[in-house]
């Protein structure tokens, strides 16, 4: 192999490697493009939500009484102030009830 042939072979290998490098760079650019990242994030979030929903549904089917108790406790916690106000009003109406007081202003 002469020097020119060796040089030509090295130049060809360099061009092949350069083309491979540029192809890899283009692929990397496409993978980190904002639109691609946004789409990947959407797919991952939706997949995670669907997996979580399926897991929760399976657990609810396994233990329906525990689920009902947990939801009831959560509802009571959320409604604690309105329920407290409701029961206070009922207590005041019952404890302050007199037969002499008329129900209307007209007597």
Could you tell me how many residues make up the chain? 107
User: What letter would DSSP give residue 105?
Assistant: T
Q: Report the chain's terminal Cα–Cα distance, integer Å.
A: 125
Enumerate residues 6+ apart whose C-beta is below 8 A from 96: none
To the nearest 5 percent, what fractions of the chain are helix, strand and coil? 85, 0, 15
Write out pLDDT tens, residues 34-82: 888 899 899 999 999 999 999 999 999 999 999 999 999 999 999 999 9
Sign (positive or negative) of CA dihedral 93, 95, 98, 99: positive
The Cα 56–Cα 67 span in angstroms is 10
Provide, rounded to the nearest whole percent, the portion of the chain with pLDDT above 90.
66
pLDDT bracket for residue 20 (50, 70, 90): very high
Tell the residue number behind the tokens 């691609």, with chain if given.
Answer: 36
User: Is the pTM above the cut of 0.75?
Assistant: no
């Amino acid at each position: 192999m002469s020097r020119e042939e060796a040089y030509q072979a090295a130049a060809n290998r360099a061009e092949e490697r350069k083309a491979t490098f540029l192809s890899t760079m283009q692929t990397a650019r496409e993978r980190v493009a904002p639109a691609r990242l946004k789409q990947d994030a959407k797919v991952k979030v939706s997949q995670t939500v669907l997996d979580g929903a399926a897991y929760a549904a399976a657990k609810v089917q396994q233990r329906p009484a525990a689920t009902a108790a947990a939801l009831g406790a959560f509802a009571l916690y959320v409604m604690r102030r309105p329920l407290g106000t409701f029961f206070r009003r009922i207590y005041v109406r019952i404890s302050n009830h007199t037969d002499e007081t008329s129900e209307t202003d007209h007597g």
